[in-house]
Amino acid sequence: MSHAFQWLRSLIFMIVIYLWMAVLGLVFAPYALFSKRGALWACKTYARTTIWLARWMVGIRGEIRGTVPTGEVMVAAKHQSFFDIMLIFDAVPHGKFIMKRELLWTPIIGIYAKRLGCIPVNRGKKGAAIAKMVKDVAKEFSEPGQLVIYPQGTRVAPGAAKPYKVGTAVLYEGLQNPCVPVATNAGVFWPRTGILRKPGHAIVEFLDPIEPGVERNTFMTRLEDMVETRSNALMREVGFDPDAVH
């Protein structure tokens, strides 16, 4: 298959999934405004449809590995692309994301994010943002769910290095819930920028949980080692060498 043809397929795919987001979001908005269950159902439908369309339209086959958490846990995930968000959200029963505050004002996404219990963070005020995040998460955890946080704070290209932020450890200490690390190779096929989506095997893997009570520095070292080591292994499994990027 030529590069140009795959790029065209990718363009059509991106148009389709964003149009579908708008249609689904608008149709279910009245339901979602008055029912968290309605918002969750609409978002689950969107995630599953996107995963199916990715396989059918651009050849990206998604897979979930490991034991998917169902109780009240913090999910600390490697974030490489929009696709790993879809795979994680589809897998867990009730995912709630730590997200950029700006997304709350995004049409459609903002409405559903609020209804799902996602926690906005002002990334420009680090100390204050962490304190408010802990307070907001504690409030939101009055209802069961899986809190999804990206320890590096943003999408990171395969093979690129970016430090893990201490906010993850602060939440881990404050919530006193298990932390489930998550590895992925999704960015190899669905990059963080550009149109081209490459056919392949995108994997999200839930790793062994880190139980509550681990000292902060030890926790951060263990989390980073688990996520990075396994993510690199998943990338090598599909023929991408993360070491070659450095």
pLDDT digits (tens, 9 = 90+) for 20-58: 999 998 888 888 878 888 888 989 999 999 999 999 999
Are the beta carbons of 101 and 240 closer than 8 angstroms? no
3-state secondary structure at position 144: coil
Sequence-separated (6 or more) residues with CB below 8 Å from residue 106:
none
- Say what the pTM is: 0.91
pLDDT digits (tens, 9 = 90+) for 80-126: 999 999 999 999 999 988 877 666 666 677 778 777 877 777 655 55
Q: Please spell the DSSP secondary structure of 43-91, one letter per residue.
A: HHHHHHHHHHHIIIII-EEEEEESPPP-SSEEEEE---SHHHHHHHHHH
